[in-house]
Amino acid sequence: MRGFDFVAPSTVQAAIKAAKGKKYKFIAGGTNFMPDLRHDHTGETKLVIDLMRIKSLKGISSAKGTIKLGGLTTATDLINSKIIAQEAPILTAMAAKFAGPIIRNRATVSGNIIDGGPAADMVPPLLALKASVKLTGPKGNRTVTLDKFLTGYRKTDIKPGEIITEVTFPAPGKGHLHGYYKLARRNAMAITVVGAAVILKMKGSTCQEAGIALGSVSPTPVRCLEAEKLLKGKEITLALAQEAAEACATIATPIDDIRASAEYRKLMCEVLPRRLICQAAGISIDPS
């Protein structure tokens, strides 16, 4: 790791201005950036811009059916938020399985997204919630749906000088059901082998809308669009849950690594969504 300059502005515009024309890195909690920096022997980063003093990037709010997460919202903030517990408990469930307390206190929603990693735990639930990211940069503001923002392995649609200021999603509503599962080699401080998130907006026994996403099985976390379409407007049965689960597995392109084989991951891309859909909808998966 080589030397670099460091600044900690207190406004978004000051941070954008500081980055102009420089080889910079924005950091929030730094839980991904610091390990990367230790192994950076190129010396490419000349300026590190710490965003944690920008108060406008913090906070969780709900208005007119939309939930807004400030870019600096941490995993601990998600656990402690009454708004999230009421409106999007899938994020509470995810955050409770996210790393350990020290990292939960630092790791931010924007940092987890911008890292672009396939095992980013915050991303599958946000994809299932059909979230969007709001960006502010030298050319102003723009909003991109999260599934379009993730473009490849550790790649995103971020433009030079841009900062994720907000993550927003429509509140699923009181009738929604959810399921989240992080499959890992141990219960804490483990990289995800397969992550699965399911949101079902229900009217009686009929699914009005579905959101399903997988993590750690493709170059980037993915929404299972075909599976969502299969569930929409239908009464959820075990057979339909199986059909949707098979559609989830179809889009997965897992790899072999030290945590699991591609074959095992592919199987779990079917097993976990089916289980979560059935559990959320109150369907027994025991044929007896």
The structure tokens 């804490």 sit at 188
Q: Residue 270, SS3?
A: helix
Q: Which residues pair with 194 in a beta bridge?
A: 183
Confirm or reject CATH 3.30.465.10 for domain 55-170, answering yes or no.
Answer: yes
CATH number of 176-281: 3.30.390.50
From residue 247, give the alpha-carbon distance in Å to each of 208, 240, 252, 254: 19, 11, 9, 15
Spatial distance between the Cα atoms of 247 and 181, rounded to a whole number of angstroms? 18
CA atoms in the 13 A half-sphere facing the CB of 21: 1
Identity of the residue numbered 176? H
State the DSSP code for 98: S
Contact (CB, 8 A) for 95 and 104:
yes
**Cβ atoms within 10 Å of 284's Cβ, excluding its own:** 9
Q: How far apart are CA 146 and CA 56, in angstroms?
A: 21
Smallest CA-to-CA distance from 71 within 118, 128, 29, 40 is with 29
Tell me what percent of the residues of the chain surpass a pLDDT of 70: 96
pLDDT at 40 over 80: no
- How far from each other are the two terminal CA atoms of the chain, in whole angstroms? 60
pLDDT at 218: 97
Please give the average per-residue pLDDT across 30-40, as a whole number.
Answer: 76
Confidence of residue 288 (pLDDT cuts 50, 70, 90): very low
- Evaluate if residue 72 carries a pLDDT over 70: yes
The pLDDT value given to residue 224: 98
- State the residue for tokens 């080889």: 23
Distance from C-alpha of 4 to C-alpha of 23, rounded to nearest angstrom? 10
When the pLDDT of each residue in the chain is averaged and rounded to a whole number, the result is: 94
The confidence band for 273, taking pLDDT boundaries of 50, 70 and 90, is very high
Burial of residue 12, with CB atoms counted within 10 A of its CB: 0-12 exposed, 13-18 middle, 19 or more buried: middle
Residue 231: pLDDT above 90?
yes
Residue holding tokens 């022997």? 41
More confident residue, 188 or 32: 32
Q: What mean pLDDT is predicted for residues 151-169?
A: 97
